[in-house]
Structures are given as C-alpha cells and as structure tokens.
Amino acid sequence: MDTHSTEDPAASPVKGTIVNLLLKENIITAKQLDYAVRVRSKIISPKTMIATLVDLGYVTLDALQEALRNNRVNIRLGDFLVELGYLREADLKQALGMQSESKSKQRLGEILVDRGFIEERKLLEALSYQLGYPLIELTFVSIDRTLLSILPLTICQELEIIPVRREDSMILLAVSDPLDQSLLDRSRKYLGDNVSIAIASKESIRNALKALERSANQPVLSDENTIIGMINSLMDEAIQDGASDIHIEPLKDRLRVRFRLDGVMHHHKDFPKEIAPQLSTRIKVMAQSDIAEKRRHQDGRILYKSHIHGIDLDLRVSIFITIFGEKIVMRLLNNKTSLLDIKEIGMAPRMLDHFIYEAVEVPTGVMIITGPTGSGKTCTLYSCVNYLNNVNTSIITAEDPVEIVIDGISQCSINSKIGVTFEETLRHIVRQDPDVIVLGEIRDHFSAETAIQAALTGHKVLTTFHTEDSIGGLIRLMNMEIEAFLISSTVVCVVAQRLLRRICPECSEPYIPTPLDLSRLNVTVNDLVGAEFKIGRGCKACRFTGYNGRVGVFELLVMNEMVKNAILNKRSSYDIRKISIETSGMVTLLEDGLVKGARGEISLNEIITDLPRLGKPRSLAELRRILGVIE
Ligand SMILES: [Zn+2]
C-alpha cells in the first residue's frame, strides 16, 4: 500500500494506481502515457497525471469512471482522492495530522469535509468508485416505508441510515459512510445479511428522515398544501442563492431541479417523477396559464411575495413540452439585479469617463449595447437610463419585458398576446414627446429604422443588439439594409460586453500562465510584465467552484471622423476594427479582460475561452496606461 509522500502534488508519483489500471485496461497506451509525462514535466504548475491525461484527450471522464466502477483499486482513500485530483496532497497531509492528534479518532472523510478540503459530493463519488457501491439521490416518495417495520425509524435516526427499497431478495440501505463497519453490523442485526449498500449524502439522509417522521401517519403522496410549500421553498431557495433561473426538467426517472447561478447551471435537487402533474398544474395556476393544456408550449408570469426574504419576486414562466413531459423554466426578473450606478458597472476609469462624457451625455444619437444573452447588457442599459433620469428629461421605453422598474420614467412591456406588439408600440412612442427613447432590443429592419429615424429627429436612443463585438454591431446594422451614411451620422457609440466569473477572493491562489496560455493569447511573457494572475482553488464560500459573483468586461467604441469615414466607404470589418483601435482609443474585449485578469479578478482560462480573440493584444503596461488603471 502507498505511503503518503511529503512532496507537493506536482511531484506525486507519475504512475499511480489509477494510471496503472488505465494501462491494464488498455484505455491508454504506454506511448500516450510517456507523452503525457513529457508534457507534464514542461508545465510550471502541473495538474495531476489523471487530469493531464484527460486534458490531452487520452481518456474521457466517462471511461475513467467506468474503469473505476468495474475494478476495485487497492489504495487508501486519501491517496485515491489525491490521484483523482479531488484533493491536494498538502491538505491530505494536514488532515492526516489532525486525525492522529484527535482523541476521538474522527474519520478521515469527516475531517476532509468538515475542514472544507473537499466537497461531500466529491468524497461520496470517490467512495462509490472505490467500493463499487451506487451513489443514490434520496427522495421522499422513493422510500418504501414498509421497511420501517423491520428497521425502526428511531434506529434509522440514531445511525443516520435509511432502508430504501427491496431489490429482489436484497434490501437497499442508504448510508453516508460505507466504511463504518460498526454501523453496518448494527443495521444487519435488524435487516439480516441480505443488505446491499448505497451511498447518499448526510444531508439527504437527514432530510429524508425528517420527511419520514413528519409523514409517519399520512398517505404518501403530497396534498396540495405540500405542493404549494415545495414551490414556495424552491423560489425562496433561488432568491437565497441569487439564482437567475429555475429549471424544472422531467427526466426519464425523476424531476430534476437546476438553478442558473452566475450564468452557470447547477444541480439543486430532484423531485419524484410522480408529483410532476401536480407541480405543473400549480405553477400554471400561479402563472395564469391554461391548466388544461398539456400538449402545447405556454408562458406566463408569477408575482411571488417572499415572506422569508421580504421581497416581491417577478418571475417569467415558460412551459415547454418535451418527450418526458413539461419542462418549466422560471426566470427571476428582479433577483439581485438591483439598479447599478453607472460608475459601478465595472468600466476602467478612462473608459468610463469617455463613455459618460462622449456618449451617455450627448443629447442625440443612437447608443448601442451589444453582447450575447446573459452578458449583462440589460444591466448596463438600465444604469445609463438611471444616469439620464431627472425631472427635466422625458424618458420612455419599449421593453420585452420590463425587467427593472425605475421611478420617474414611462416603461412599456411588450405583450403581443393582447396586441401590444413591438411595431405598434414603436409607432406610438415618438408621439409621446420623449427626449430619450429606450428600445429593449433591435431585432429587425423595422426596429433599426425606427431607432435611426428617432435619432435623426433629435432624440437620444438607447438600445441593445445581439452581436459578438462592437464592430459586429455596426456591420449588423449595415446588413439590415440601413444606409451607411445614416449609420455614420446617427450612431454615437457601440459598447460590447461580457460577464465573466469573478475569482473567489476567499480561496484565490497565484497562477502562472503556461506556454500554451501565452500562445493562445498571442502574447509573450514580456507583454505581461506586472501581471498577477490568480486561480480559485474552491472553498465553502464559493461552493467549491473557485468563482463568486461576476465581473463586466467591456469594449467601447465611440465613433470619430475616421471610423465614420470607414463606414461611409464600406470598409471591411477588419479595417474598421484596426482604425477604431488606432484612432479612437478603443480597447478590445480581450484587452480589457487581460487587464482585469492581471489584477486577479478573472481567470486566464475564461479570458481565453469566453472573449473573442481577433488580434494580438497590446502589452499590459500600454493597456493600463490607455485605461487609466494604476497598479
Ligand atoms: Zn472560494
């Protein structure tokens, strides 16, 4: 059996037990392993051998899991976690030290989870690979309560275990620590020897036990109050987590609930499939949709008063028919998207000055904010509107739908169901004598034409667009058959933006760019002098993701004569981009991202994968000077 080495993970043995298993099972070849060893030796802060093999594409996570499930590996739990890359060698050492010092001989797994060295889910996953027991998700109705006549509830509560169901002649028993032999012995006294083990998290066992206790004398399936309670607590949990969307998806065997947090989907919980009809009926009642309709897509709106959080939540509901039933998505419109001061949206000092004084405060013309869905453009749009909002200005909006209500302006939510269409609203909007018009989105020739015409007649128009970058916004307008001279004479600025995840400050560590990072960014080490990149290791505060919150990355193009001329002459997007960078002080999304990465706010990995890499970025020193960023 392996002993614990004292070196850092980089130096841990190349040929661990799992690597040998992959070789033995012919999942990787010796030649691939040699190559991976060479690659790994060239990296300054290398990952584990397994992670390197996965990165190189020699083994997929599925194949790895399959191999681990089919073969018991004879290795200590701690070493196994380190080799899988779930735990750092240094943390293991510390935990083992704590274990030998503690008088009560706490179990290693318990120490690792309690100290936040590993997420319980990851630990259970590894145990499941190592021991070959299935990992199960407990839900209240999936438990066969007749088994409690054999293993009494009080014993289950004491041992924190649950008999789940009969499988042929076996009884499936859920435990959170399958290595605890005394616990298994005690349960066998009641259940006999025909017990098969399944692993479940402590929390899910405790929750299921509580539910079993509550319902001790009640019928199994939930009455209407329970369903209402479930939906309400789901919404409260979403508010608590700061989720932007709740997804309730029917799968083959269960109803899966996921939250979108900081733009990324996270599994939240599962419900038993049996309650799907009641759940969707109740949501349809709340959303004032047609409860009899089960075969067509529908949408609706829910206003939910959260007593726990003391807020009124506005949810946009979409019901979509899938082959397994109705998938329900609820978007939380006003959850934590509070109105931001324009100075807080995340623009660098010089860019912000440029934006406010040469774009937002200019009395006429079109301002375009562009980016994909979830890039934060609505937030930026609202902060501009808020900045312009005063008693001497008349502001009117056409939005689909209104996402934040601002005092003192006239906001209209498009509702085509009752005939309030975008076209109809735009026709009426200019007759309302506005100074500032906000169009939620330019989506076709008609809305583009309306925006341009309103600007030509002396209005200020704020709108959003769906393009990759700022130059793309201009090109898209041309492609909508808007005359080049109309674009050059009305568009004041185009802002492109993205939201990248903020590295968790609680667990961030220095990160040194690899040669691969540098080549993908098209920069040299000299270009990055003064940079302090970071990476999030993962901790309790960030749910072990290494990220917490988000950071806006911007590309601001304020139109000048040279750029206008380039548009008039219908130059290529490459030329327009080059002229904008050279003459207008424009910093590209990639460049702004690099500056923010160099301060340790966002990860190099997200900069490389999420921002358009359209040319060689300038040096960090030069970019900091242009943006007025002092380090
Ligand atoms: Zn963290």
Q: What is the pLDDT of residues 116-146, one digit of tens each?
A: 888 888 888 888 887 878 888 776 556 787 7
The residue type at 130? Q
CA of 88 to the centre of ligand 1 (A): 15
Report how far ligand 1's centroid is from the alpha carbon of 261 (Å).
15
Confidence category of residue 225, pLDDT binned at 50, 70, 90? low
Give the three-class secondary structure for 279. Answer: helix
Are 164 and 172 within 8 A, CB to CB?
yes
CATH architecture assigned to 224-332: 2-Layer Sandwich (3.30)
Structure letter (DSSP) for residue 307: T
Residues 249-257, mean pLDDT to the nearest whole number: 86
Cα separation, 283 vs 33, whole angstroms: 53
**Where exactly does CATH 3.30.300.160 map onto the chain?**
140-214
- Amino acid 316 reads R
Report the b/e string of 84-106 with b at 16+ CB within 10 A.
bbbbbbebbeebbeebeeeeeee
Residue 169 has a pLDDT of 80
Structure confidence at residue 567 as a pLDDT band (50, 70, 90): very high
CA of 284 to the centre of ligand 1 (A): 38
How, if at all, do strands 534-536 and 410-413 pair? unpaired
Burial of 74 per CB tally in 10 Å (0-12, 13-18, 19+): exposed
How far is ligand 1, taken at its centre, from the CA of residue 509, in Å? 10
Q: How far apart are CA 202 and CA 220, in angstroms?
A: 23
Distance from the alpha carbon of residue 535 to the mean position of ligand 1, in angstroms: 10
Mean pLDDT of 193-216: 83
Distance 550 CA to ligand 1 centre (A): 13
Residue whose pair of structure tokens reads 């899988």 in the numeric block: 84
Ligand 1 midpoint to CA 503 (Å): 8
> Which of 336, 334, 302, 303 has its CA nearest to residue 317?
302
Q: Cα torsion for 111, 61, 244, 251, to the nearest 10°?
A: -110
Express as a percent the part of the chain with pLDDT over 70: 94
Q: How many residues does the chain have?
A: 631
pLDDT in tens, 88-99: 888 899 898 888
CATH of domain 140-214: 3.30.300.160
Distance in Å, CA 510 to ligand 1 centroid: 14
Residue by residue, DSSP assigns 523-534 as --GGGGTT---E
Torsion angle (degrees, nearest 10) of CA 452, 458, 463, 466: 20
* Mean pLDDT on 396-423: 82
Contact present, 509 and 537 (Cβ < 8 Å): yes
Reading the block at residue 362, the tokens are 């200019």
Give me ligand 1 centre to Cα 539, in Å.
4
Distant-in-sequence, close-in-space partners of 377: CB < 8 Å, separation ≥ 6: 369, 370, 371, 464, 495, 497
Ligand 1 center to 548 CA (angstroms): 7
Answer whether 597's CB lies under 8 Å from 607's CB: yes
CA of 540 to the centre of ligand 1 (A): 6
Q: How far is the CA of 253 from the centre of ligand 1 (A)?
A: 33
Pairing of strands 298-306, 395-399: unpaired
- For the chain, the average pLDDT equals 86
Lookup: tokens for 480 = 């909508």
CATH 3.30.450.90 segments of the chain? 224-332
Contact 4, 78 (CB under 8 A): yes
Statement: the pTM of the whole predicted model exceeds 0.75: no
pLDDT of 217 reads 54
Tell me the CA–centroid distance for residue 538 and ligand 1, in Å: 4
Reported confidence tier of residue 276, pLDDT bands at 50, 70, 90? confident
Q: What is the mean pLDDT of residues 264-289?
A: 85
Check: CB of residue 115 under 8 Å from CB of residue 95.
Answer: yes
- Terminal Cα-to-Cα distance of the chain (whole angstroms): 50
543 Cα: distance to centroid of ligand 1 (angstroms): 7
For residue 631, report the distance from its CA to the centre of ligand 1, in Å: 24
CATH class, domain 342-627, is alpha beta
Residues, CB-to-ion distance under 5 Å, ligand 1: 504, 506-507, 539, 541-542
> Is it the case that residue 8 has pLDDT exceeding 80?
no
CA of 387 to the centre of ligand 1 (A): 34
Give residue 116 CA to ligand 1 midpoint distance, Å: 10
Span from the CA of 482 to the centroid of ligand 1 (angstroms): 48
